[in-house]
Amino acid sequence: MARIHSHRHGKSHQTRPTSKRPPSWLTYSADEVTALVIKLAKEGVTPSLIGERLRDEYGIPLIKPITGKSISKILAENKIFPALPPDLQNLLDRSVRVQKHLGAFKADRRNVRSLELIEAKIYRLANYYKRLGAIPSDFKYKTVVAQLA
């Protein structure tokens, strides 16, 4: 898949386990995995980091073959899902970091362009999530690039 704001194809990807069934050596049941997901979510860990921590600390390669549901579905069923989708929240955090940098270094034109691209992604993703109903229809991101120029 091509990147949005560059003329390159991405080479980075993950290698998923070959089998769709839970591994035979796994000792965790579906209820235990669900409880771990809920516990980590209540600690404030994002869904993507929950998957990483379950893989690295508990040796659980994938959640879906064990429970039959994704991490997002488990969180939604237990009403622990974050207010904003994680990818939109990551972009908002990234824009705040770039804005803070531009506050200190006003002549950094390259990062002004970077902020424009980040904000374009935020607008595009916000419109998508408004259509899905994942965020409120009155969600508004206030642009900062116009204030900087």
91 with 134, same domain: the answer is yes
98 with 141, same domain: the answer is yes
| Residue 44 lies in domain | 30-77
pLDDT surpassing 50 at residue 1: no
Please say which residue of 38, 58, 77 terminates a domain: 77
pLDDT surpassing 70 at residue 2: no
144 with 94, same domain: the answer is yes
Query: Would residue 24 count as lying in a domain?
Result: no
Per-residue model confidence as pLDDT tens digits over 22-65: 888 888 999 999 999 999 999 988 888 999 999 999 999 889 99
How many other CB atoms are found less than 10 A from the CB of residue 51? 20
Q: What is the pTM of this model?
A: 0.76
Per-residue model confidence as pLDDT tens digits over 68-124: 999 989 998 998 888 888 889 899 999 999 999 999 998 999 999 999 999 999 999
66 with 98, same domain: the answer is no
